[in-house]
Amino acid sequence: MLSAAVEKAVGLEIPARGSAQEYARDAYLYLVSFVTLALWSYSLGNIFYTMIHFWIPDPTATWTISIRMLPQFLAWPIAMLIVAFPIFMFVNVTLQRDLTQRPEGFSTGVRKWLTYIALVGAMGTLVFDAVSFLESYLLGTLTTRFILDALVLLVIAGGIFSYYLVAVRSTLVAPRREQAYALVSTVAVIAALAVGFIAMGSPNHQREISADGRRITNLREIEHAIRAKAKSDKALKRPYVLPSRLSEIEGLAPGQMLDPISRVPYEYQRIGASRYRLCATFYANNNKPTSLPAITVMKARDGRILRVTADAYPDSTPGRSWNHGTGKDCFLLSV
């Protein structure tokens, strides 16, 4: 064969051409690597952005991130970071090992194309970051929070760009460089996860916070059921008497009258002809306004309350404050 004759003449072994299976495997690994890179780098930035906005609220903003809203902003990026980053590291180690065993892999079209695509994405992010920074400076809106946001984006996108710029020019695996980038990335990810978990609290803490929200919703359902019955009787010109116990309230399921964790009935006390008290035991203090679901009451023609339920959408109408402390707290209500 021609290749054998050339090898004999020059005294060098001609590298074997990669098979279609090897090229398909390379394409799969590089695609997984770049997809997981996009996922974990976005999640990493998202965690830092959320904490910066929480620590440094904008006084001119119409809303800010409260401590009760943190889980809604942090849970998804934390979960994504935990899943995507190890996959990225594993695939990247596999690619570096393959390149060590097959140096001709440095010149494959799959590696070159996908690496340049990653460079274009990182460069586009850096350009956007620079333009946004200059725009804020020219408009006089360059705040500490914006500078920190821009710095986070610069560090993440700049690190990705520098890594792949060197990688696309390399013809040999550099273990020290790979270890250095891996170490910096791992430290950044661990720092972000630590900050996120400390801000969110444990899963048990989140469960208790959710239970507090369910308690408030139940109390509001009880209040709406009592109020709806009073209005219905008044419209039908019937005398209305406050129920003496929770079980006498129409339209409520048994679960709506019980604490979601302890399964103990809420405390209900009738005070006079039109006033009553509702009490529950809460896990955490809440002295800030929170978004509550709207309550829907279904009534029969004869005035009976058929069902009282919380809607999926928040209540946009102004109402009473349901702020509460830690432990047992009571609300004095009236018809």
Give the pairing type, strands 275-282 and 327-334. Answer: antiparallel
Q: Measure the CA–CA gap between 257 and 249, rounded to whole angstroms.
A: 10
Chain centroid to CA 43: how far? 9
| CB-count burial class (<10 Å; 0-12, 13-18, 19+) for 136 | middle
Phi, psi of 63 (to 5 degrees): -150, 155
Q: Measure the CA–CA gap between 46 and 69, rounded to whole angstroms.
A: 14
Beta-bridge partner residues of 291:
none
Instruction: Provide the residue type at 196 as one letter.
Output: G
Instruction: Provide the residue type at 311 as one letter.
Output: D
SS3 25: helix
Chain centroid to CA 212: how far? 20
Note the pLDDT of residue 14.
47
How crowded is the C-beta side of 254, counted as CA atoms within 13 Å? Answer: 2
Instruction: Provide the residue type at 87 as one letter.
Output: I
Interior/surface letters 215-224, b for 16+ CB within 10 angstroms, e for the rest? bbbbbbbbbb
Q: Measure the CA–CA gap between 35 and 10, rounded to whole angstroms.
A: 43
Q: What is the DSSP letter of 327?
A: E
pLDDT means per 10 residues, the chain with 335 residues, are 52 50 77 91 92 82 71 90 95 88 77 85 85 79 83 91 86 84 94 91 82 90 90 84 88 90 92 90 76 77 78 62 87 88
Note the pLDDT of residue 132.
82
Sketch the domain layout of the chain as residue ranges. 18-201, 204-334
Note the pLDDT of residue 85.
96
